[in-house]
Amino acid sequence: MEPVKRITLIGGGLMGHGIGQEFACYGLEVSIFDDDPAIRETVLERIETNLVFMAKNHLIFEKKIKAILAAVQIHDTLEAAVENADVVIEAISENLPLKKGLFKHLDRVCPRNVILASNSSSFTPSQYAGSINYPDRVLGTHYFNPPYLIPLVEVVKGEKTGEKTLKTMIALLKGIGKRVVVVKKEVPGFIANRIQIALFREAFNVVEQGIASPEEVDMAIKSSFGRRLGVMGPFEQCDIIGADLKLSIYNALVPEIKSDTKPSRLLLRQIKAKKLGVKTGEGFYRWTKNSRKKRYERIQKALIAMNKMDNIFSESSGKNREPEDKGKKGK
């Protein structure tokens, strides 16, 4: 199997620039194309801001920032961006007709051996690439935001995804320190988002029913099982407390919690009142520039601390990564 050296990202928005940045951190060559010139103009600036943050937190050497940025090329056309690519990952908007059109186009312009991946949060390979000429080279690689701080990638195997495509992608992702799970069936939401949305439905329901306020729900989760979830999954927890006790709790609560498929009334009310959150300055909380910065910093610092505790960064020491126990040496 040829080693993968060149990655192309189609879409340089929130996810595309972060995914590209991560490959560049590990010494791969990265090309990015976005069809919006304004986005193209800011990609390198956004990556640099992230890299400075990472250097401050000793995740990369400060002196490597220039080299990492130099490994990222921004292109004005898709054709130029995919030239010489070994792997193309699309992170364009979550719109099925757009993604279908893009995969058809990529299938035509990329040589047969190039792997085509999608970061789609909900669509499956059969949906966006079922009818292209070579669907065996297509699969999903679902990252989480921010991709350079969240270790997991869900690799989504389509009905027609080839074994070689799957193996090459898994090796590539593991090689840059990602934790990989393979989603073996093409189901919407894959693994993590299915489970996450079940939690969100009940969280919104608890507030709608007047059982607790949004702040109280957030506090209850963050200070209880939320803490544990980063270190202990539901099956580990089930084994620890015992399947018999878990079944009693399950039987008592499952009939009580929300199970319908209607849109959340709470969310509809928020949208009607234009309380979209950070975007409009108010959601369940008030968001000023300052409060947003503070909250984001707190979240990022906590994610870094958890990754360090879980040895994520030492598992993944690429050539630009700062060795975990060396502190400021090598700056």
Residue 119 binds to ligand NAI (criterion: CB under 6 A): yes
Q: 144 vs 208, which CB is nearer to ligand NAI?
A: 144
Active site residue 142: yes
Nearer to ligand NAI, 14 or 229 (CB): 14
Query: Is residue 94 a contact point for ligand NAI (CB under 6 A)?
Result: yes
Residue 93 or 223 having the CB closest to ligand NAI: 93
DSSP states along 20-69: HHHHHHTT-EEEEE-S-HHHHHHHHHHHHHHHHHHHHTTSB-GGGHHHHH
**Beta carbons within 10 angstroms of residue 37's beta carbon:** 8
Rule CB under 6 A: choose which of 4, 51, 92, 150 binds ligand NAI.
92
- Preceding amide of 234 cis, omega within 30: no
* Count of C-beta atoms within a 10 Å radius of residue 239: 11
Site stretch for ligand NAI (CB under 6 A), options 119-127, 162-170, 268-276, 314-322: 119-127
* Distance, CA of 160 to CA of 136 (rounded, Å): 5
Backbone angles phi, psi at 87, to 5 degrees: -135, 135
Of 13-21, 68-76, 108-116, 279-287: span binding ligand NAI (CB under 6 A): 13-21
36 binds ligand NAI, rule: CB under 6 A: yes
Q: For residues 183 and 206, which CB has a smaller minimum distance to ligand NAI in the complex?
A: 183
- Which residues are known to be catalytic? 121, 142, 154, 193
Task: List contacts with ligand NAI (CB under 6 A).
Answer: 10-16, 33-36, 39, 91-94, 98, 102, 119-121, 142-145
